[in-house]
A and B are shown apart, each in its own frame.
Chain A
Amino acid sequence: MTLARRIIPCLDVHAGRVVKGIEFEGLRDMGDPAELATRYNCEGADELVVLDISASHQGRGTFLETIRRVAEQLNIPLTAGGGIRTMEDGRAVLRAGADKVTVNTAAVKRPELLFELAQQFGAQAVVLSIDVKRNGDSWEPYTRGGRDATGRDAAEWAAEAVSRGAGEILLTSIDRDGTCSGFDCELTARIASTVPVPVIASGGASTFDDFLAVFTGGRADAALAASIFHTATQSIGRLKKFLAERGVPVRLSR
């Protein structure tokens, strides 16, 4: 009997479409969220994350509609977030069909939000998202999509967030994101050994070996990736088989 390590595809959504941010070029269209969700559900994804990368108030209705369309396709858990500022924002996302909500910038500004969400929906529904940059020997959380430095230490913020109600940490390395150079295993191990809740590693995934590394040395409970799955360069089924053959407990589809 083993708790399986999770493979989580992520859909970055803008104006109702899955997109990929390309440096200096803007956004590239990667497809329809519901269609990708259907594919991942069939391929053996353990969970799905949908993030509103525009995170604007104007686009809120469109994003909630996207959550509804995606949730209809799934028989696995769905996490949604991006621009969640208040408990009402969180409630709207959960009502639309998400099982968990992620918060980032608003929780740094007002950490009580984590407690309020956990009190209302349970800690298992509250995912704190931390975007981290390495500064020498330490890691610093950034907000507003990596634009604003917080002046804090990532491990210290993660521990505080858990004490305030976060039930899971979605940890993204800004340095690695989009680089295809592998997860920051050192960062992931550091946070995973600090907090008593599951840690989802994100940023930099490219090869099957990257996933193996983050589940072993990186001590991650789950690993998240976006574009490598969208473009079908890597299939979730083959990835899980690869991990299983190397002793990582994963849920294999039948």
Chain B
Amino acid sequence: MKIAIVDYGAGNLPSVERALAKLGADTERAVAPGQLACAKAIVLPGVGHFGAFVNGLRERNLTSSLCGALDSGKPILGICLGLQAMFASSEEAPGEPGLELFPEEVRALPTNVKSPHIGWNQLRRVHTSKLLRGIPDDAYFYFAHSFAAPASAQYTVAACDHGFPFAAVIEHNNLAAVQFHPEKSGETGAQVLRNFVDSVP
């Protein structure tokens, strides 16, 4: 069985594939619900627009199988927009429901800071994190986003500040998500992906 990388019709999948392949993980692009059902773990990468993203998932009938995979206990990793999509909604696409795994709304970064938040930033650890195991507290991660989920979200294990404190790493049972791009975060990012791959049975 393979790690399924959800292909919703946009986004830079090759860099996620390449980063996982370097760790020896066997991946496939998943465009159909059946592929998610068969996978041993799921990566949900995302760039672009919240509305286009959740619609892309719905059009491919992937939302219910994602939730099914969550119930089955399979490790799931959301990246960037993949994290935001797990929330109820986003200011980026008012009226467009997300996956609603968490009740909060994703908000636009405020106007008193540069937006998009582009570049390498550090994290503030809130709880023990499986994904950040073995990574120094002052390590840098690459971010590129204009919207973010509030750090007050229940399962935030690491936060970052840019305009307001936002959720940088979320972990709850088999579900994990990161606002930064581990596939673009050098050796530090590779360690995050390695920790995820190691959690795959």
Where the two chains meet, the residues of A that have a C-beta atom closer than 8 Å to any C-beta of B are: 1-6, 41, 46, 71-72, 74-77, 94, 97-99, 119-125, 167-168, 196-198, 221-222, 251, 253-254
A1 near B142 with CB under 8 A, answer no
Q: Is chain B's interface secondary structure helix, strand, loop, or mixed overall?
A: mixed
Which one of B111, B123, B142, B181 has the highest number of Cβ atoms from chain A below 10 Å of its Cβ? B142
A99 near B146 with CB under 8 A, answer no
B118 near A124 with CB under 8 A, answer yes
Task: State the Cβ distance, A50 to closest chain B Cβ, in Å.
Answer: 15
The answer to whether B96 has its CB under 8 Å from any CB of chain A is no
A-B contact pairs, 11 of them (CB 8 A): A2-B121, A74-B15, A75-B187, A76-B184, A99-B47, A120-B10, A122-B48, A168-B116, A197-B115, A198-B114, A251-B120
Residues of A within 8 A of B145 (CB): 124
Residues of B within 8 A of A168 (CB): 116, 118
Pick the 4 closest A-B CB pairs, nearest first. A251-B140, A124-B144, A124-B116, A4-B120
A121 near B48 with CB under 8 A, answer yes
A4 near B121 with CB under 8 A, answer yes
For the complex with contacts A99-B12, A119-B49, 13 further pairs of A-B residues with Cβ separation under 8 Å are A3-B119, A3-B121, A4-B120, A75-B187, A77-B142, A99-B47, A120-B10, A122-B49, A123-B146, A168-B118, A196-B115, A221-B114, A221-B119
A-B contact count (CB 8 A): 99
Q: Is chain A's interface secondary structure helix, strand, loop, or mixed overall?
A: loop
For the complex, give the distance between the alpha carbons of A12 and B12 in Å. 23
Residues of A within 8 A of B136 (CB): 254
Task: State the Cβ distance, A41 to closest chain B Cβ, in Å.
Answer: 8
For the complex, give the distance between the alpha carbons of A4 and B118 in Å. 10
Task: State the Cβ distance, A91 to closest chain B Cβ, in Å.
Answer: 9
From A4, A97, A122, A125, contact of B119 by CB (8 A): A4
The contact size tier of chain B is 35 or more
Residues of A within 8 A of B48 (CB): 120-122, 125
A6 near B12 with CB under 8 A, answer no
Name the residue of chain B whose CB is nearest to the CB of A195.
B114
Residues of B within 8 A of A125 (CB): 47-48, 144
B114 near A196 with CB under 8 A, answer yes
Task: State the Cβ distance, B10 to closest chain A Cβ, in Å.
Answer: 7
A6 near B119 with CB under 8 A, answer yes
Residues of B within 8 A of A119 (CB): 49
Task: State the Cβ distance, A73 to closest chain B Cβ, in Å.
Answer: 10
Residues of A within 8 A of B12 (CB): 94, 97-99
Name the residue of chain B whose CB is nearest to the CB of A121.
B48
A3 near B146 with CB under 8 A, answer no
B122 near A1 with CB under 8 A, answer yes
Residues of A within 8 A of B105 (CB): none
The answer to whether B78 has its CB under 8 Å from any CB of chain A is no
B120 near A6 with CB under 8 A, answer yes
Residues of B within 8 A of A222 (CB): 119
From A46, A124, A254, contact of B146 by CB (8 A): A124
